[in-house]
A and B are shown apart, each in its own frame.
Chain A
């Protein structure tokens, strides 16, 4: 039996992703929030919204912290209570989990949840340094490991243990770029080839430039309500029927098996149990493809294929639109872009479009059940949510 709704999405919005010169993150967030407000004319934001939960990884980019009140103020929502959640690249996954808990607790009826990051103010070297703060400092960073380097350690181990090939990693990038050409909000609008990926410059062997997600500006937003109230706001509700989070060791080197993202495994198993479904019941999923190897491991750790089969899974076209389970129809972090704090709720936005039949040329026909997996850093945190189209 499919689980009962914990909270219901009645609207969502997303800024254009990419390089957004001349904007500060508070202004970018308004772009996402106003789309969510305009989609939901029955919502009176000042009157209805009782709390805001915002994912935001870093104050370093703009020397600006105190995120929640800044957003409440610039949206004209003060004195609404606000919370900023930080869990590296899973910051808005964490915000979503907290928003669901707030509604399920019965303490608030209507919340705004979202995330934001404005990264291109800074040089690539500075951004790399800010992002690295989400990894272990005294051992990983101190020994010259970068984020691509940490995922490269996983890739080397996966290739050694399961025979996964660099071509198979490249196929993930090719699929996600192809999907992004059908998403006008995606950062990249150009299809690429396996050859191009393999020939791109090495960042951290075996990962190359096109195995890595880009530096992106963007914001995401959704309105969540108590399920009983959903019909007051929309005719096309999407229910959140499972919400789970997990952690893993901060140092990748301390994990027993480098080929498994344990936080994804634990959180997804809890979410499937809560939703009363199995992985094969999922019609569409957005997963955290910060690097191509991550998506391969997630096919396995989210239960879409057996352990070690991830390389074959992409080679057989199973995660393509039209395949067994379309994954990252938005273009994923790889091609839609990865404004780190915004990513978790941006994943929700894509699933919301898919389950309400608004995804245009990339629509998965008849999608009823969706899943998002948002990961922090090198997998030390993960949040998994499962969604069901409202009847």
Chain B
């Protein structure tokens, strides 16, 4: 029996996060890697995409320290959120664990993704979270 890959959707992305995997898609026509996966290649509009696993490592492209948080995050403020340029190219945001002060971070620092595998909310969206930590 041939296993059918999941569709290239946000829901699939977070199902993989629950398995501890950072997955994106690669366009078979132009080679663009997309994290999160999108159903249509943002570069050439092709729909012929394949899943690829990324290492989850990269460097900080920019960051902020959130002092006034949205309600679901109030218990952990202040916390750092960075935009991370993954080694494979795409950039994604994530909380950097253990950082509360701007002097603890610098643009260009190396980080690695870590996973929280249980759903974060009782209602939609029942997604797990990923975080970054300094390496």
Contact = CB atoms under 8 A, between A and B. Distances in A.
Interface of A: 125, 128-129, 132, 138-146, 148-149, 152-157, 160, 201-207, 251-254, 258
B50 interface: no
Dominant secondary structure at the A interface = helix
Contacts of A125: 71
Interface in B61-107: 61-73, 76, 78-79, 81, 83, 90-95, 102, 107
Given A144-B70, A146-B70, A202 B93 contact: no
Contacts of B92: 139, 253
A201 to B, nearest CB: 7
Nearest to B77: A144
A144 B83 contact: no
Contacts of A149: 64, 66, 81
Interface of B: 10, 14, 36, 61-73, 76, 78-79, 81, 83, 90-95, 102, 107, 125, 127, 129
A253 B95 CA distance: 13
B62 A204 contact: no
Contacts of B67: 201-205
B133 to A, nearest CB: 14
Given A149-B66, A160-B107, A253 B91 contact: yes
Nearest to A124: B68
3 nearest interchain CB pairs? A152-B64, A205-B65, A157-B62
11 contacts: A142-B129, A146-B70, A149-B64, A152-B64, A154-B62, A156-B107, A205-B65, A205-B67, A207-B64, A253-B83, A258-B62
Contact of B61 (A155, A157, A202): A157
Contact of B63 (A141, A156, A254): A156
A153 B64 contact: yes
A144 B79 contact: yes
B6 to A, nearest CB: 16
B67 to A, nearest CB: 5
B92 to A, nearest CB: 6
Contacts of A202: 65, 67, 78
A138 B72 CA distance: 14
A144 B62 contact: no
Nearest to A252: B83
B102 A129 contact: no
Nearest to B67: A202
A153 B62 contact: yes
A287 B125 CA distance: 36
